[in-house]
Amino acid sequence: MPYTAIEHTLSINRFSTYRQAVISATGDNCNLLALKLYEWNAELSSRFFFPLHIYEVAIRNAISDAISIRYGQDWPTNSVFQNSLNGLDKRTLLSALNGNYQGVGKLLPEIKFVWFENMLTSRHDGRIWKPYIAQTFSNAPDSLTAKEIRKELKDACYIIRKFRNRCGHHEPVFNNTTLADVYPLIIKSLEWRCDKTSKWMNQNQSVTELLANPVI
């Protein structure tokens, strides 16, 4: 295996994370195992994109549905809704609108996912989540209050979004402190929205198989 050539092509600094992880786990500076760990990390990131895709689309649609109950189907253009946002989120929405609004379906993919995460803050409890979260996430446990459901969704969204960004930027995820939490949080959030979608995604994903077979 031409390890040295691969390491220099992808950069010594990039590979040092994997090399040091192998040394810490085994006590050996093993080039082959470091490369295997790099391959495993890249494959894991790749496999995660399917559940991440389903999660992101489902959650942003759910949040859009909740907003529309209060502010109407064309909520992005509703000035009352716009003025309920903080300054940054309002600017983000107006920038996405950009004078060329062609409906919610066209707009949603143009808004960064962090904007939807921000909709899950306590700022919107009274206007949106307390009255409408039971309709939007109808499978959430009855034992939880609207505020508790919203907070769990918000906390999950933060962890999942940060993890997604690491995958998207080809960064190490094997050593992520939240790695074991990400997929269960995706499943839980989807179940609360639609158990059929959650089951379909779970049947077609291959993340858990790879997670069960780590390199180190």
78 inside domain: yes
Residue 2: CA atoms inside 13 Å, Cβ hemisphere, count? 5
pLDDT at residue number 3: 85
16 inside domain: no
171 inside domain: yes
> Do 69 and 130 meet the contact criterion of CB atoms below 8 Å apart?
no
Six token digits for residue 164: 């997604």
2 inside domain: no
CA distances from 10 to 33, 36, 41, 104, 173 (A): 16, 14, 14, 41, 17
> Do 186 and 55 meet the contact criterion of CB atoms below 8 Å apart?
yes
132 inside domain: yes
Report, as ranges of residue numbers, the positions in the chain whose pLDDT lies below 70. Answer: 1
13 inside domain: no
27 inside domain: no
Give, rounded to a whole angstrom, the gap between the first and last alpha carbons of the chain.
20
Q: Which domain holds residue 173?
A: 44-211
185 inside domain: yes
pLDDT at residue number 99: 77
**Angle, alpha carbons 49-115-57 (nearest 5°):** 35
User: How many folded domains does the chain comprise?
Assistant: 1
pLDDT at residue number 186: 98
